[in-house]
Amino acid sequence: MPGPDHVSTDAAFGFIPWGPVLRAQLYSIVTSNAVAVYRGMLMEAVGTAYLTPKSGYLQGAISEETGADGSIIGAVLAIFDHNMNSVKYLAASTTGNGTIAGYALIADDPNQLYLCQEDGDTSSVAAADVGNTFEAIGTTGSTTTGLSLMELDSSSKATTSTLALKLMGFHPDDTIVAAAAAGGHTRCIVKINSAYLGAGAANTGL
């Protein structure tokens, strides 16, 4: 998590559970995965189950930035190779066993809250933005820490139900910058706005 100067410093850490983890399940990552998988990365369902050597058939998952928001499952808590050995991250194009590259343990309860940092590009979130919806941005991560660099896209603010995230509040230690000013990197508390496993979700893009 970023240090004391996190509001003025862009130090993304992906999406981490805020409060208790309500539920977590294993998902499979298809062999030769197009996008590397990091802890804290938001993931979406691909609509295909893959036969895994350790856990039978498991729903496949891929980075959220690749498809429609209605298919978002949740954020990665831990990553394993195809032999179920814990790994820091799964590099893009990992072959694995020829069917799967590995596994991701994902916090997939649709009511799960997450902490993330806003990108502060063009504009920043304001106190009055609680309840509005936003996109996530970024597909890269740190190969050193294994953490995703995905963030809340500050300038994507809207009220539509099709965006990825709903802003629920802010980290109590952060000072929110002036409305519409760029450069703020406040830590935000969010939930998935249209979760794949949520009641009544359209589950688009599968």
Torsion of CA 156, 148, 74, 17, to 10 degrees: -100
Q: Return the pLDDT at 184.
A: 82
Q: Which residue, chain included where needed, has tokens 């069917």?
A: 99
Q: Return the pLDDT at 116.
A: 96
- CA-nearest of 115, 171, 101 to 147 is 115
Q: Return the pLDDT at 4.
A: 43
Q: Return the pLDDT at 10.
A: 83
Domains of the chain, residue spans: 22-107, 111-192
How many angstroms separate the CA atoms of 178 and 16, rounded?
25
Contact 26, 116 (CB under 8 A): no
Q: Return the pLDDT at 49.
A: 96
151 forms beta bridges with 137
What residues have CB less than 8 Å from 5, skipping those under 6 apart? none
Q: Return the pLDDT at 205.
A: 44
Q: Return the pLDDT at 202.
A: 54
How many angstroms separate the CA atoms of 126 and 152, rounded?
13
pTM: 0.90
Q: Return the pLDDT at 66.
A: 56
Count of Cβ atoms closer than 10 Å to residue 92 Cβ: 14
Report CA-CA distances (Å) from 183 to 10, 52, 103, 120, 154: 8, 44, 36, 5, 10
Using CB atoms within 10 Å of the CB of residue 85, give its burial: 0 to 12 exposed, 13 to 18 middle, 19+ buried.
exposed
pLDDT along the chain (206 residues), means of 10: 59 95 97 95 93 93 73 95 97 96 97 95 89 92 96 88 89 77 88 81 48
